[in-house]
């Protein structure tokens, strides 16, 4: 028994000694290292057979393997970044431009030499400081007194001012006050003779960042300046430092994010936020049980072994919350440069600096995102692709990629332009190109299989017939032009997280008791639009030649079929009103005219969002005319010629105008 005890003891000893060495080598911040040492000390006193011991061991082992000080070197070559973005992505001109601007600012910030103003009335002292600081790769400007300093402050954008206190015209204390008023971002360090330390302390009370007593050691100056600069960098980085890519699925958000990481030479990872409900997913679990884990952010840094990867936080708009706390508030901390320098994961229980991580958030729609979160982000919008863009992307990128991935040879397999068009039009209906890529993958897989079985020649040209052979009968029909105009059925345009889409609003009436029936799983706002539309039609029945008592002894039923589409928002108002007018005037509604617009009780049309996505959806569905609020004129004018080609956009101010255009 005693023998066992001994060997266990020594095993525990050697494990702990091992960890001690690792703790010393891990380059942790001093505070963290101390905590790790204390934990280790505690472990020496705990029975190794207990859960507590193994929790402690795992914890320290995790701490020492975190990348406290490991970074990949940034590649700040902008033209290379530009080339990479262009090489891997077709179109997306605005997106690329915005990203390059963002990177340029980053590069400038990293490359710019901090500018320091040295103020002293003794020339020797000025020269000394100038010499020391220039050696540290700072840019230095000098001034002989406070008044001179103020002139120079107006001309340049300084980061730090180092000033003597005693000067002839406008002394250091006055200068400090003036800088505080006019340039609150600039950090002031005061230098003072040994005799007047008390006045230096007074200066700090008045807002000076630090003070240095003469005669000073070089290290003191260096430290004070670098600390001041660090503080300043944080303040500067706060706004818009997080990129947010918003847009429908399959529009290249992930792919562009990857390219950004590649351009910077950083590692890349994604964290899916969709459906995340528990705060612990972000912030980790306390180490109270075996198997407790850190949150996803720390886990990813641990896995990637670097503190400066690009982390893509996917689908911020689908973030949930429940009783276990709100992951959004934890995220707020992660994304806020003022707080994320000392992010505390519950498992780690010590601060970890996240400020080197480049976060890119993605979202399909922005309106469900908490305002405080949205404020921290620089939003870059991705939008759906036109048919032509899809064809280009397919031919240039998706087809070659799939051919390669399925082990085929680009020399032997090709897709004709007609085949690509057919896949886009008849087998997919989406804003992005996700299912397009999947369909192309399916065809390539089948070609590979048939080639192996000797069923096809080695050389395959995929034609429209082949597409049908591989993918089966067409999946989508043009419900708009392939069906007849009907009474009480109108075509509308909606905007959802998946991009734009079309809906049909059906209105029917029957004998009854003045009841308004609404079906089709409509959201609250859309149900209100139905009520508003009915009230408008009732109140202006006469002007449309409708019997004013039409609602007496009748029920009206509004139905919006299409289970898969999210149906909410005010923009269907116009479509519902015109459906009712069609029903009550017995005039068939043109199916190939699609509408969007919010209505007021007096029949005026208010502007709506998602214009570009809606126009693209209308074109996918082969709509001929789109009716939109006149107040959306600016949005329509912003659309490129390629988008507005082959479609008529009619701007209207009132329901009556819309009805004239739609009803036969």
Residues acting as catalytic residues:
571, 614
Pairing of strands 460-462, 413-415: parallel
The Cα 581–Cα 80 span in angstroms is 59
Residue 219: exposure state from Cβ atoms within 10 A (0-12, 13-18, ≥19) = exposed
Please pick, from the candidates 212, 319, 403, 433, the single residue that binds ligand ADP as defined by CB under 6 A: 433
Q: Which residues contact 104 (CB under 8 A, 6 or more apart)?
A: 78
Locate 316 and state its tokens: 């911020």
Locate 8 and state its tokens: 């266990």
The Cα 330–Cα 297 span in angstroms is 11
Q: Which is nearer to ligand ADP, 496 or 596 (CB)?
A: 496
Q: Is 296 in the site for ligand ADP (CB under 6 A)?
A: no
Q: Which stretch binds ligand ADP (CB under 6 A): 37-45, 267-275, 429-437, 614-622?
A: 429-437
Distance in angstroms between the alpha carbons of the first and the last residue of the chain: 99
Q: Is 437 in the site for ligand ADP (CB under 6 A)?
A: yes
Q: Is 254 in the site for ligand ADP (CB under 6 A)?
A: yes
Please pick, from the candidates 249, 294, 327, 629, the single residue that binds ligand ADP as defined by CB under 6 A: 249
3-state secondary structure of 653: coil
Minimal distance in Å, beta carbon 86 to ligand ADP?
10
Q: Which stretch binds ligand ADP (CB under 6 A): 6-14, 27-35, 433-441, 584-592?
A: 433-441
CB 129 within 8 A of CB 120: yes
User: What element of type H or E holds 189?
Assistant: strand 187-192
Q: Is 252 in the site for ligand ADP (CB under 6 A)?
A: yes
Q: Which is nearer to ligand ADP, 114 or 250 (CB)?
A: 250
Q: Which is nearer to ligand ADP, 254 or 535 (CB)?
A: 254
Q: Which is nearer to ligand ADP, 126 or 253 (CB)?
A: 253
Minimal distance in Å, beta carbon 91 to ligand ADP?
5
The Cα 63–Cα 349 span in angstroms is 10
Q: Which is nearer to ligand ADP, 319 or 518 (CB)?
A: 319
Hey, which residues between 601 and 630 contact ligand ADP (CB under 6 A)? none
Minimal distance in Å, beta carbon 624 to ligand ADP?
28
Please pick, from the candidates 268, 343, 347, 397, the single residue that binds ligand ADP as defined by CB under 6 A: 397
Q: Is 253 in the site for ligand ADP (CB under 6 A)?
A: yes
CA torsion angle 287 288 293 297 (round to 10): -50
DSSP string, 499-557: EEEEEEEEEEEEESSSEEEEES---HHHHHHHHHHHHHHHHTTGGGT--TTTTTTEEEE
Q: Which stretch binds ligand ADP (CB under 6 A): 103-111, 244-252, 573-581, 599-607?
A: 244-252
The Cα 493–Cα 312 span in angstroms is 31
Total site size for ligand ADP, rule CB under 6 A: 17
CA distances from 198 to 26, 35, 192, 204, 211 (A): 41, 36, 10, 10, 11
**Cβ-proximal residue to ligand ADP, closest one:** 252
Q: Is 434 in the site for ligand ADP (CB under 6 A)?
A: yes
Minimal distance in Å, beta carbon 223 to ligand ADP?
45
What residues are paired with 65 via a beta bridge? Answer: none
Q: Is 369 in the site for ligand ADP (CB under 6 A)?
A: no
CA 383 to chain centre: 14
The Cα 229–Cα 222 span in angstroms is 11
Q: Is 250 in the site for ligand ADP (CB under 6 A)?
A: yes
Site string for ligand ADP, 32-51 (x = CB under 6 A): --------------------
Q: Is 406 in the site for ligand ADP (CB under 6 A)?
A: no
Please pick, from the candidates 163, 251, 491, 582, the single residue that binds ligand ADP as defined by CB under 6 A: 251
Site string for ligand ADP, 56-95 (x = CB under 6 A): ---------------------------------xxxx---
The Cα 227–Cα 230 span in angstroms is 5
Which residues are near ligand ADP by CB under 6 A?
89-92, 249-255, 393, 397, 432-434, 437
């Amino acid at each position: 028994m005693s023998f066992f005890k001994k060997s266990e003891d020594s095993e525990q000893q050697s494990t702990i000694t091992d960890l001690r060495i690792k703790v010393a080598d891990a380059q942790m911040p001093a505070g963290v290292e101390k905590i790790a040492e204390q934990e280790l000390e505690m472990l020496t006193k705990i029975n190794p057979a207990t859960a507590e011991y193994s929790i402690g061991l795992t914890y320290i082992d995790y701490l020492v393997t975190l990348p406290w000080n490991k970074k990949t070197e940034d590649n700040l070559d902008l033209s290379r970044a530009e080339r990479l973005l262009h090489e891997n992505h077709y179109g997306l001109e605005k997106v690329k431009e915005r990203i390059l601007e963002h990177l340029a600012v980053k590069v400038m910030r990293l490359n710019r030499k901090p500018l320091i103003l040295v103020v002293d009335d003794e020339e020797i002292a000025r020269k000394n400081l100038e010499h020391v600081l220039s050696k540290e790769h700072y840019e230095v400007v000098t001034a002989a007194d406070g008044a001179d300093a103020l002139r120079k402050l107006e001309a340049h954008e300084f980061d730090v001012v180092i000033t003597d206190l005693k000067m002839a015209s406008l002394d250091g204390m006055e200068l400090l006050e003036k800088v505080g008023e006019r340039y609150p971002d600039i950090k002031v360090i005061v230098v003072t003779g040994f005799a007047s330390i008390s006045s230096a302390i007074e200066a700090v009370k008045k807002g000076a960042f630090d003070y240095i007593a003469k005669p000073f050691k070089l290290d003191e100056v260096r430290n004070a300046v670098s600390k001041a600069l660090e503080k300043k960098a944080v303040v500067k980085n706060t706004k818009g430092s997080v990129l947010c890519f918003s847009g429908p699925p399959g529009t290249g958000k992930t792919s562009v994010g990857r390219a950004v990481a590649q351009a910077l030479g950083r590692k890349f990872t994604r964290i899916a936020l969709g459906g995340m409900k528990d705060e612990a997913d972000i912030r980790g679990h306390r180490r109270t049980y075996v198997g407790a884990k850190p949150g996803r952010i720390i886990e990813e840094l641990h896995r990637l072994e670097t503190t400066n990867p690009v982390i893509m936080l996917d689908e911020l708009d689908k973030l949930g919350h429940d009783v276990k706390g709100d992951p959004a508030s934890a995220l707020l901390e992660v994304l806020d440069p003022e707080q994320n320098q000392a992010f505390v994961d519950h498992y780690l229980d010590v601060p970890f600096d996240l400020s080197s991580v480049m976060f890119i958030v993605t979202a399909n729609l922005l309106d469900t995102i908490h305002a405080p979160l949205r404020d921290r982000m620089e939003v870059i919008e991705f939008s759906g692709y036109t048919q032509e863009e899809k064809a280009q992307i397919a031919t240039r990128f998706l087809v070659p990629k799939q051919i390669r991935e399925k082990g085929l040879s680009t020399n032997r397999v090709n897709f004709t332009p007609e085949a690509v068009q057919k896949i886009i039009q008849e087998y997919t209906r989406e804003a992005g190109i996700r299912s397009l890529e999947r369909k192309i993958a399916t065809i390539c897989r089948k070609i590979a299989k048939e080639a192996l079985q000797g069923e096809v020649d080695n050389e395959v040209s995929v034609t429209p017939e082949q597409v049908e052979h591989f993918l089966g009968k067409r999946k989508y029909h043009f419900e708009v032009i392939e069906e007849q105009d009907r009474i009480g059925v109108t075509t509308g345009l909606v905007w959802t997280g998946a991009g734009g889409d079309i809906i049909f609003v059906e209105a029917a009436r029957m004998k009854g008791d003045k009841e308004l029936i609404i079906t089709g799983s409509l959201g609250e706002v859309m149900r209100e639009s139905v009520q508003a539309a009915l009230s408008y039609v009732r109140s202006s029945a006469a002007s449309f030649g409708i019997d004013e008592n039409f609602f007496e002894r009748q029920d009206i039923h509004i139905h919006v079929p299409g289970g898969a589409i999210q149906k909410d928002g005010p923009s269907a108002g116009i479509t519902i009103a015109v459906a009712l007018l069609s029903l009550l005037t017995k005039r068939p509604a043109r199916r190939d005219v699609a509408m969007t617009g919010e209505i007021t009780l007096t029949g005026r049309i208010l502007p709506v969002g998602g214009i570009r996505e809606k126009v693209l959806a209308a074109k996918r569905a082969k709509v001929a005319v789109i009716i939109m609020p006149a107040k959306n004129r600016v949005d329509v004018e912003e659309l490129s010629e390629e988008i507005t080609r082959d479609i008529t956009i009619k701007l209207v101010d009132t329901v009556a105008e819309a009805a004239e255009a739609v009803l036969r």
